[in-house]
Amino acid sequence: MSKTETHAFQTEVNQLLKLMIHALYSNKEIFLRELVSNASDALDKLRFEAVSNDKLTEGESELAITVGFDKEARTVTITDNGIGMTRDEVIANIGTIANSGTKKFLDSLSGDQAKDSNLIGQFGVGFYASFIVADNVELITRKAGDNVSEGTKWISQGEGEFTLETVTKATKGTEIILHLKEDMDEFLNDSRLKNIITTYSDHISFPIKMLEEQKDEEGKDTGKKVLEQVNKATALWRLPKSEISEEEYNNFYQTLSHDFDAPVATLHNKVEGSLEYTSLLYLPKKAPFDLYDRERRYGLKLYVKRVFIMDDAENLLPTYLRFVRGVIDSDDLPLNVSREILQSNRVVDKIRAASVKRILGAIAKMAKAEDKTAYNEFIAQFGSVLKEGVVEDMANKDKISQLLRFASTTSGSAEPTVALADYIDRMQADQDAIYYITADSYAAAAGSPHLEMFRKKGIEVLLLSEKIDEWLVNHLTDFEGKTLTSITTADLKAFDDEADSKLTDEDKKDREALTEKVKATISELVSDVQITHRLTESPACVVSAEGDMSAQMARMMEQMGQAMPKQLPVLELNPDHALVKQLASIKDEAELKEWSLFLLEQAQLAEGDQLDNPAEFIKRMNSLLAEKV
Ligand code: ADP
């Protein structure tokens, strides 16, 4: 006797379903592409596992997908004789949203349907696309090799819950029965279904079959129906480029990636010689939501002599190119290759090096295009992961550096559009450093007092505000012979030579006396007090002492839970500022200390530092203000 159990979907599934049904309504035929793609994956997996355990084929020699429909029952059915699922796998794969990236995706939704519909394109939907056209979905599956009585039937209306029942299923694999919604009759049509299959799934490497009228020798209907293959079933990447249209490339990409956008670049190469392989690589338009999710597996699909070996073969590309999707089909790897073997394999190393070269070449081509829109969009999506490459891929460091784009004081916008080469072109005649500032946000970088002198002198400064930037500049210390220099640690004495030369000895002495005096009152909080070369408007700023880590780096290490030895900053004073001028005349030591602390604390705040005791700062500021009123 079989028992029916009712389970609730994870709440996220409900939310996702609603959104997706709405967003994809105008593109509803893609449900078939998604289900065929899953079926094809299941066949790939079976074929791979059967290499080491031929019992799994259960005596069926042909692996295929069947699509059928029933006008009376108003159902469309997709069947595969692939790997199938156990009951537990059904619960894990179909009832839950397993990866944390999906949660992040859902958290980022605004509730504004128009905006959210756009977002759904960044998320691969897969099986749930069934609910765009169906209001009741049955999935009947049995894992290859399991007893026929161990099948599982899953039914759901896509509204909060699903039922599970143990059933007998004679054949391995999965059958999906879609009970169509009222207005979906268009799919109860032979030529409509065929058309969708040949449009989106022509190059799935397994046959997709539909029932056709059998004809007799004279071409007349015999009244009998037989299964006939609808798609070409040639692995697309094995065809010569000249035989593949852009549309076919794009459709194959969408089947492969579950992406709803077309890719921005397609790289198809057949390599012959000492090493033989084919690579078909795609650069997506949008970054997936889980691009920074450490648990997420990335990589290409690996085939050996057309036999699918694994998904997400991460060793075929370096981590910083994990957004690239595609297929590698090698003739030189063994069929029983494992992830462990891939980690240190000469063939893999060569394929990877060549693929990286092609991908970086394609990105560089995009960067050189007259119209920068596509490249700016690409950088907005993938600029930060590309920066990881400077650290990860020493061999290609120069090439990658050329591809990076930054915001700067000259570009005047938060969008990263400035190449290091652009910066060098604009450098002043006697300038030999590429100046930058790092901060927590673009606004903090662009508003930093450290920029004052650079603005006055018209020197461009790169404004770096991504988390990765601090690491980037630690590894990218120079570019085309110019040193990358932080304006918060740079020695800028030279900037002031002109002004300094006008100072009388008396002035110099006064300034020295002032810094000594201030330093004495707050000596436990600063490593030094100096006259600044950086400020024109603000009274004070803090900089890192020579040899110390930059303040931004120290903050990041602390956020990561690293205990940091306390680094005392250098306080720099602007002698031309009214507040600083006034300091010189204060005789009372307690009062001087209050003012000195006030200047130090406001400089730290401007830097994005957390004050140890913000309440005390406010109190101090208020009492100093009160004295003035
Ligand atoms: P994705 O395919 O992106 O992983 P889906 O929601 O389409 O997401 O499917 C979730 C999982 O369910 C798949 O990864 C696979 O493990 C399983 N699955 C879906 N369809 C089938 C099928 N026809 N045969 C076997 N397993 C399947």
304: number of Cβ within 10 Å: 21
Q: In what order do the strands lie in the sheet with 325-330?
A: 265-271, 277-283, 325-330, 300-304, 307-313
d(CA 261, CA 256): 12
pLDDT mean over 508-513: 88
Say yes or no: 196 and 77 in one domain.
yes
d(CA 66, CA 562): 57
Say yes or no: 139 and 248 in one domain.
no
Q: In what order do the strands lie in the sheet with 4-8?
A: 4-8, 161-167, 151-156, 134-142, 173-180, 75-80, 65-70, 208-215, 221-229
Q: What is the pLDDT of residues 441-477, one digit of tens each?
A: 999 999 999 999 899 889 999 999 998 999 999 999 9
Say yes or no: 144 and 280 in one domain.
no
| Pairwise pLDDT comparison (118 vs 25), residue with the higher score | 25
Q: Which domain holds residue 388?
A: 238-403
Say yes or no: 207 and 277 in one domain.
no
Say yes or no: 143 and 31 in one domain.
yes
Say yes or no: 272 and 228 in one domain.
no
Domain assignment present for residue 258? The answer is: yes
Say yes or no: 203 and 308 in one domain.
no
Regarding the beta carbon of 93 and ligand 1, being less than 6 Å apart is answered: yes
Domain assignment present for residue 42? The answer is: yes
Over pLDDT 70: what percentage of the chain?
A: 93
Say yes or no: 393 and 330 in one domain.
yes
Over pLDDT 90: what percentage of the chain?
A: 58
Q: Is the pLDDT of residue 1 over 50?
A: no
429: number of Cβ within 10 Å: 4
Say yes or no: 163 and 304 in one domain.
no
Coil, helix or strand at residue 159: coil
Helix or strand (DSSP H, E) at 514? helix 505-521
Residue nearest to atom 7 of ligand 1 (CA): 126
Q: How many CA atoms lie within 13 A of 39 on its CB side?
A: 31
Q: What tokens were used for 266? A: 């397609």
pLDDT band at 629 (very low <50, low <70, confident <90, very high): low
Say yes or no: 155 and 273 in one domain.
no
Q: Is the pLDDT of residue 527 over 80?
A: yes
Identify the pLDDT of residue 602.
93
Identify the pLDDT of residue 612.
84
Q: Which atom of ligand 1 is nearest to the CA of 127?
A: 7
Q: Which atom of ligand 1 is nearest to the CA of 128?
A: 6
| Pairwise pLDDT comparison (440 vs 561), residue with the higher score | 440
Identify the pLDDT of residue 109.
67
Say yes or no: 272 and 357 in one domain.
yes
Which residue in the block uniquely carries the two structure tokens 């609730």? 8
Contact indicator for 142, 55 with CB cutoff of 8 Å:
no
SS (H, E, C) 70-119: ECCCCEEEEEECCCCCCHHHHHHHHCCCCCHHHHHHHHCCCCCHHHHHHH
Most confident of 162-176, 338-352, 448-462: 162-176
Identify the pLDDT of residue 100.
53
Q: What tokens were used for 417? A: 């559009």
Regarding the beta carbon of 438 and ligand 1, being less than 6 Å apart is answered: no
pLDDT band at 283 (very low <50, low <70, confident <90, very high): very high
Q: How many helices (H) and strands (E) does the chain have?
A: 22, 22
Residue nearest to atom 18 of ligand 1 (CA): 38
Domain C-terminal end among 199, 234, 269 = 234
Identify the pLDDT of residue 121.
56
Domain assignment present for residue 425? The answer is: no
Assign residue 587 the CATH number of its domain.
1.20.120.790
Q: What tokens were used for 65? A: 């997908």
Most confident of 94-98, 376-380, 509-513: 376-380
With the most atoms of ligand 1 within 8 angstroms of its CB, the residue from 127, 142, 256, 325 to mutate is 127
Q: What total of structural domains would you count in the chain?
A: 3
Residue nearest to atom 14 of ligand 1 (CA): 93
Most confident of 70-84, 149-163, 567-581: 70-84
Domain C-terminal end among 234, 252, 268 = 234
pLDDT band at 501 (very low <50, low <70, confident <90, very high): low
d(CA 281, CA 357): 12
d(CA 250, CA 282): 9
pLDDT mean over 308-312: 84
Q: Which atom of ligand 1 is nearest to the CA of 37?
A: 2
Identify the pLDDT of residue 176.
98
Domain assignment present for residue 176? The answer is: yes
Burial readout 321-355 (b: 16 or more C-beta within 10 A, e: otherwise): bbbbbbbbbbebbeeebeeeebeebebbeebbeeb
Assign residue 249 the CATH number of its domain.
3.30.230.80
Contact indicator for 301, 327 with CB cutoff of 8 Å:
yes
d(CA 431, CA 454): 12
What separation, in Å, do the N-terminal and C-terminal C-alpha atoms of the chain show?
89
CA-nearest of 494, 402, 396, 400 to 454 is 494
pLDDT mean over 64-72: 97
Q: What is the pLDDT of residues 592-610, one digit of tens each?
A: 999 999 999 999 998 877 8
Q: What tokens were used for 380? A: 């907005």
Q: What is the pLDDT of residues 120-153, one digit of tens each?
A: 655 666 788 899 999 999 999 999 999 999 999 9
Q: What is the pLDDT of residues 478-493, one digit of tens each?
A: 999 999 999 987 777 6
pLDDT band at 110 (very low <50, low <70, confident <90, very high): low
Regarding the beta carbon of 42 and ligand 1, being less than 6 Å apart is answered: yes
With the most atoms of ligand 1 within 8 angstroms of its CB, the residue from 24, 32, 41, 258 to mutate is 41
* Cα 210 from chain centroid (whole Å): 39
Residue nearest to atom 9 of ligand 1 (CA): 127
CA-nearest of 261, 246, 269, 351 to 302 is 351
Domain assignment present for residue 454? The answer is: no
Q: Is the pLDDT of residue 519 over 90?
A: yes
Among the ranges given (219-233, 333-347, 366-380, 555-569), the one the predictor scored with the smallest mean pLDDT: 555-569
φ, ψ (nearest 5 deg) of residue 592: -60, -40
- Ramachandran sector of residue 74 (left: φ over 0; alpha: ψ -120 to 50; beta: rest): left
Q: What is the pLDDT of residues 3-34, one digit of tens each?
A: 789 988 877 777 778 877 877 777 889 899 88
Say yes or no: 33 and 89 in one domain.
yes
Residue nearest to atom 21 of ligand 1 (CA): 38
Residue nearest to atom 16 of ligand 1 (CA): 93
User: 544: burial class by Cβ within 10 Å (0-12, 13-18, 19+)?
Assistant: buried
Domain assignment present for residue 542? The answer is: yes
81: number of Cβ within 10 Å: 24
Arithmetic mean of pLDDT over the chain: 89
370: number of Cβ within 10 Å: 4
Domain assignment present for residue 133? The answer is: yes
Domain C-terminal end among 403, 435, 468 = 403
Domain assignment present for residue 489? The answer is: no
